[in-house]
């Protein structure tokens, strides 16, 4: 039997894997605008993985979202 993964749960898991936490504000933003939340997660992942930015700038980007 094959079970389908809910895209919302997959996005939540991706956020937790990237950031290490899940909070009420994240849940509210996801419920309010899934498209925006998806884009923000992707951008945060790129900023975190790319070694082009200094650590302080990466930290500021994480604080912004």
What is the pLDDT tens value at each position of the chain, 65 positions in all?
Answer: 567 788 899 999 999 988 889 999 999 999 999 999 999 888 878 777 777 888 888 888 777 76
Query: Number of folded domains in the chain?
Result: 1
On whether residue 51 sits in a domain, the answer given is yes
The pTM of the full predicted model, rounded to 2 decimals, is 0.72
On whether residue 1 sits in a domain, the answer given is no
On whether residue 33 sits in a domain, the answer given is yes
- 8 Å CB contact between 37 and 18: no
pLDDT for the residue numbered 54: 87
Nearest to 38 by CA among 11, 5, 7, 65: 11
Tokens of 63: 């604080």
Q: The domain containing residue 16 runs over which residues?
A: 7-64
């Amino acid at each position: 039997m094959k079970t389908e993964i809910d895209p919302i749960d997959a996005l939540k898991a991706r956020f937790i894997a990237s950031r290490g936490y899940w909070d009420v504000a994240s849940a509210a933003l996801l419920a309010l605008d899934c498209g925006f939340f998806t884009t923000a997660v992707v951008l945060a992942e790129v900023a975190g993985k790319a070694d082009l930015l200094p650590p302080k700038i990466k930290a500021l980007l994480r604080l912004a979202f």
